[in-house]
């Protein structure tokens, strides 16, 4: 008890080095044993986080420095997980704003910074990766200052301390000239900026706001949040003030704090600490835990609404149930209900279409939803996923509104004309353009709808040399119809195994998605047609055998390697009458209606 406590969050655009900085914090505060093997980005503990190289879930850890306990929150940098960032801001005393020394402030930097400034936090700027050849650290500081002014920062916030460093090497320095070999300048700046949490608040009645949820299979739902006032004890009877104003009673059966990377059980915790509590089953984000006779509720935490939806359907393909363990509506519902326990940016609704068996799942973007699909796939679920659709709203005048994105693209000058043309066709409006003669940096405001399916085209058009970053900028008036995919598909009209002879004949019709010796079914998409209509094909036909052989005509067939889709690419590719069939082993594309007759019946369906 009576420790000096400081809570900080690390915020930045994706790939600016947040998780690497947290690694450096942990290694320089002797959290690990001398013989302990330490992974890079140790806080990115989820499999998908490690594979994708991004932070998806905000996580806590704690370090000790000169008698201070510093609780650190590593936050996601991707716009789709901004609901995680919004809540965390309320639990910290200051934020370390990490900005790349070459890229400068990016769209997501603006979003996370605005949330911090709204809550009155005074950020510390750390310009990272100053060892880059193209670093322009001092210019970046000026750009960040301009961003603070644009976001109406107050006088105190504008006087932010600026530090420079290389998180990968665990180095932070006060200026570009003043060299260092550790993080001491950062630690000292944090202590000078914040000071320790007022000890006298520990003498007041308990006030704890839940900002994050977790689930433990042994002890149930866990509430994570900052203890603003009082001393919380294990076994204590409490009142829970809900977001709707109602009050419930409960008992703290388990109380935990963070030490290093571990969650440690304690008997009591003091004001200022980030704590984890168990024993209260219906906790939600924004609930305030108080003493039963002294209820002092904090303002509820408002989470921004979802902007995109997909239908999670029962897999109805002929291959359903072959490899998955969970294939029924009940299985899917139970899993989605479990996800809602901890994933507050998510909504689940029953489908209005009586012919479809599944649920409408709404989230903050394609990545937000595809991470959930990938998680379910690895757990043994089979699903049919529909095309992503944006969530449209109506204003007071009855006008249709749709979500908009700010997109910054950085492309070689030779490709910029193609990219600009495609963004214009997708109802984008150019906001800014800058060029150095070699690369062009273009800023667009574009409907979220217009970006569905654009990423793979962008990669192809720029030969992989283009960089695109985006962030949500709210809702605007509906921009009208946007043309979808220009090409039709090659659809299998037979059940069986693909043969090289048949595929060789189909190659002149378009790009194939399957190779030889692959099982296919009637209604499965096996390729992209070179024209704008769907074409029914038979990829299982073999060569008719005769008694005669001609010299040279029976040589082995040479096929072009088929195009393979990742989950995100498949979701972007499909149109309204198609589904992605997701199983633990395969990702297939199929028509919503498998038989040709059914497809003809639904050809003119509204979509």
269 conformational bin, left if phi > 0, alpha if psi -120 to 50, beta if neither: beta
Is 372 part of a structural domain of the chain?
A: no
Looking at residue 36, its pLDDT comes to 41
Better pLDDT: 27 or 546: 27
Average pLDDT for 46-65: 60
Instruction: Return all residues near 483 (Cβ < 8 A) that are at least 6 apart.
Output: 425
Quick one: 30 and 153 in the same domain? yes
Looking at residue 42, its pLDDT comes to 43
* CA distance linking residue 184 with residue 171, whole number of Å: 9
Quick one: 435 and 562 in the same domain? no
Is 324 part of a structural domain of the chain?
A: no
Between the CA of residue 393 and those of 79, 81, 323, 402, what are the distances in Å?
Answer: 20, 21, 39, 6
Given 173, 196, 219, which residue is the final one in a domain? 196
Quick one: 92 and 238 in the same domain? no
Quick one: 67 and 170 in the same domain? yes
CATH number of the domain encompassing residue 38: 3.40.50.300
Chain centre distance of CA 591:
28
**Band of the pLDDT at 198, cuts 50, 70, 90?**
confident
To the question of whether residue 462 is assigned a binding role by annotation, the answer is no
To the question of whether residue 82 is assigned a binding role by annotation, the answer is no
Is 483 part of a structural domain of the chain?
A: no
What tens digit of pLDDT does each residue of 297-356 get?
Answer: 888 877 777 888 999 999 999 999 999 999 999 999 999 998 887 777 789 998 877 667
Quick one: 415 and 277 in the same domain? no
188-207 as b/e: b if 16+ CB within 10 A = ebbbebbebbeeebbebebb
User: Between 454-461 and 413-425, two packed helices, what is the crossing angle to 10 degrees?
Assistant: 160
Joined together, the tokens standing for residue 468 give 């695109």
SS3 category, 183: coil
Report the 3 state secondary structure along 517-553. CCEECCCEEEEEECCCCCEEECCCCCCCCCCCCCCCC
Average pLDDT for 114-127: 88
Given 477, 500, 532, which residue is the final one in a domain? 477
Quick one: 118 and 209 in the same domain? no
Q: 275 has which bridge partners?
A: 225, 257
**Band of the pLDDT at 82, cuts 50, 70, 90?**
low
Given 196, 215, 235, which residue is the final one in a domain? 196
Hunting for tokens 């994933």 — which residue is that? 343
Is 253 part of a structural domain of the chain?
A: yes
Quick one: 24 and 160 in the same domain? yes
Joined together, the tokens standing for residue 546 give 């005769």
What tens digit of pLDDT does each residue of 238-265 get?
Answer: 988 887 788 888 899 999 988 877 788 8
Average pLDDT for 192-214: 83
What pTM was computed for the model?
0.79
CB-CB contact of 315 with 324 (8 Å): yes
Quick one: 183 and 209 in the same domain? no
Looking at residue 398, its pLDDT comes to 85
CATH number of the domain encompassing residue 502: 2.40.50.250
Quick one: 117 and 143 in the same domain? yes
How does the average pLDDT of the chain come out, rounded? 84
Is 373 part of a structural domain of the chain?
A: no
CB-CB contact of 390 with 104 (8 Å): no
Joined together, the tokens standing for residue 79 give 């716009």
CATH number of the domain encompassing residue 406: 3.30.70.240
Joined together, the tokens standing for residue 69 give 């306990």
Joined together, the tokens standing for residue 318 give 């002929």
To the question of whether residue 19 is assigned a binding role by annotation, the answer is yes
* CA distance linking residue 303 with residue 280, whole number of Å: 22
* CA distance linking residue 232 with residue 273, whole number of Å: 10
Specify which of 115-119, 267-271, 353-357 reaches the highest per-range mean pLDDT: 267-271
pLDDT at 78 over 80: no
Looking at residue 41, its pLDDT comes to 41
To the question of whether residue 550 is assigned a binding role by annotation, the answer is no
Is 341 part of a structural domain of the chain?
A: no
To the question of whether residue 15 is assigned a binding role by annotation, the answer is yes
Looking at residue 14, its pLDDT comes to 65
pLDDT at 54 over 60: no
Average pLDDT for 33-38: 40
Number of domain units in the chain: 4
Quick one: 13 and 79 in the same domain? yes
Looking at residue 51, its pLDDT comes to 54
pLDDT at 168 over 60: yes
**Lowest-pLDDT range of 44-58, 136-150, 292-306, 553-567:** 44-58
Cα three-residue angle 98-101-104, rounded to 5 degrees:
75
To the question of whether residue 6 is assigned a binding role by annotation, the answer is no
Is 337 part of a structural domain of the chain?
A: no
**Lowest-pLDDT range of 220-224, 364-368, 431-435:** 364-368
Instruction: Return all residues near 34 (Cβ < 8 A) that are at least 6 apart.
Output: none
Joined together, the tokens standing for residue 326 give 């969970």
What tens digit of pLDDT does each residue of 484-525 get?
Answer: 888 999 999 999 999 999 999 999 999 999 999 999 999 999
Q: What number of other Cβ atoms are within 10 A of residue 518's Cβ?
A: 18
Quick one: 161 and 285 in the same domain? no
Between the CA of residue 581 and those of 223, 319, 330, 555, 567, what are the distances in Å?
Answer: 35, 10, 18, 36, 10
To the question of whether residue 131 is assigned a binding role by annotation, the answer is yes
To the question of whether residue 17 is assigned a binding role by annotation, the answer is yes
**Lowest-pLDDT range of 55-64, 132-141, 150-159:** 55-64
CB-CB contact of 211 with 274 (8 Å): no
Strand 383-385 to 308-313 pairing: antiparallel
Q: What number of other Cβ atoms are within 10 A of residue 461's Cβ?
A: 19
**Band of the pLDDT at 49, cuts 50, 70, 90?**
very low
* CA distance linking residue 275 with residue 2, whole number of Å: 15
pLDDT at 436 over 80: yes
* CA distance linking residue 123 with residue 161, whole number of Å: 8
CATH number of the domain encompassing residue 280: 2.40.30.10
Quick one: 442 and 537 in the same domain? no
To the question of whether residue 39 is assigned a binding role by annotation, the answer is no
Please measure the distance between the N-terminal and C-terminal CA atoms of the chain and give it in whole angstroms. 61
Chain centre distance of CA 383:
20
**Band of the pLDDT at 38, cuts 50, 70, 90?**
very low
To the question of whether residue 75 is assigned a binding role by annotation, the answer is no
Structural domain for 506, as ranges:
489-546+553-601
* CA distance linking residue 159 with residue 147, whole number of Å: 13
Is 464 part of a structural domain of the chain?
A: yes
Rg, Å, the chain Cα set: 27
């Amino acid at each position: 008890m009576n420790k000096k406590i400081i809570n900080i969050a690390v915020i930045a655009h994706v790939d600016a080095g947040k998780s690497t900085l947290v690694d450096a914090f942990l290694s320089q505060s002797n959290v690990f044993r001398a013989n302990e093997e330490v992974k890079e980005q140790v806080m990115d503990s989820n499999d998908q986080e490690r594979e994708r190289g991004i932070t998806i879930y905000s996580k806590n850890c704690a370090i000790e420095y000169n008698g201070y306990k510093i609780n650190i929150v590593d936050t996601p940098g991707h716009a789709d997980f901004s609901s995680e960032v919004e809540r965390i801001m309320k639990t910290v005393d200051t934020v370390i704003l990490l900005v790349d020394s070459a890229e400068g402030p990016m769209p997501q930097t603006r979003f996370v910074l605005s949330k911090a400034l709204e809550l009155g936090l005074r950020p510390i700027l750390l310009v990272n990766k100053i060892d880059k050849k193209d670093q322009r650290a001092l210019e970046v500081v000026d750009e960040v200052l301009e961003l603070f002014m644009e976001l109406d920062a107050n006088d105190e916030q504008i006087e932010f301390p600026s530090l420079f460093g290389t998180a990968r090497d665990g180095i932070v320095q006060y200026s570009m000239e003043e060299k260092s070999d550790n993080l001491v300048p950062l630690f000292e700046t944090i202590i000078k900026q914040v000071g320790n949490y007022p000890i006298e608040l520990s003498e007041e009645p308990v006030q704890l706001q839940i900002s994050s949820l977790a689930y433990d299979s042994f002890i149930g739902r866990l509430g994570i949040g900052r203890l603003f006032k009082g001393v919380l004890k294990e076994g204590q009877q409490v009142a829970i003030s809900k977001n709707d104003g109602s009050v419930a009673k409960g008992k703290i059966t388990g109380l935990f704090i963070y030490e290093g990377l571990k969650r440690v059980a304690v008997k009591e915790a003091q004001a200022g600490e980030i704590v984890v509590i168990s024993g209260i089953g219906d906790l939600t984000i924004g609930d305030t835990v108080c003493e039963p006779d002294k209820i002092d509720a904090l303002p509820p935490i408002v989470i921004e609404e979802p902007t995109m939806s997909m239908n999670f359907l029962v897999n109805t393909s002929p291959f359903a149930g072959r490899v998955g363990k969970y294939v029924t509506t009940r299985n899917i519902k139970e899993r989605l209900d479990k996800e809602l326990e901890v994933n507050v940016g998510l909504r689940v609704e029953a489908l209005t279409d009586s012919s479809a068996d599944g649920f409408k799942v709404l989230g903050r973007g394609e990545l937000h939803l595809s991470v959930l699909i990938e998680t379910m796939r690895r757990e043994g679920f089979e699903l049919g996923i529909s095309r992503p659709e944006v969530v449209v709203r109506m204003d007071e005048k009855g006008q249709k509104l749709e979500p908009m994105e700010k997109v910054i693209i950085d492309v070689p000058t030779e490709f910029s004309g193609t990219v600009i043309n495609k963004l214009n066709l997708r109802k984008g409006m150019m906001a800014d353009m800058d060029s150095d003669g070699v690369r062009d940096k273009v800023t667009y405001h574009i409907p979220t709808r217009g970006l569905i399916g654009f990423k793979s085209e962008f990669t192809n058009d720029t030969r992989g040399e283009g960089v695109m970053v985006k962030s949500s900028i709210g809702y605007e008036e509906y921009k009208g119809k946007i043309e979808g995919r220009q090409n039709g598909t090659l659809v299998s009209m037979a059940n069986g195994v693909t043969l090289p002879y048949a595929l060789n004949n189909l190659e002149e019709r378009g790009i194939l998605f399957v190779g030889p010796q692959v099982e296919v079914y009637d209604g499965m998409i096996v390729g992209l047609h070179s024209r704008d209509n769907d074409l029914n094909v038979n990829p299982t036909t073999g060569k008719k055998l005769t008694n005669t052989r001609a010299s040279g005509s029976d040589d082995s067939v040479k096929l072009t390697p088929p195009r393979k889709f990742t989950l995100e690419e498949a979701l972007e590719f499909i149109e309204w009458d198609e589904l992605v069939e997701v199983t633990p082993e395969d990702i297939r594309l199929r028509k919503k209606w498998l038989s040709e007759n059914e497809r003809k019946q639904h050809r003119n369906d509204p979509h």
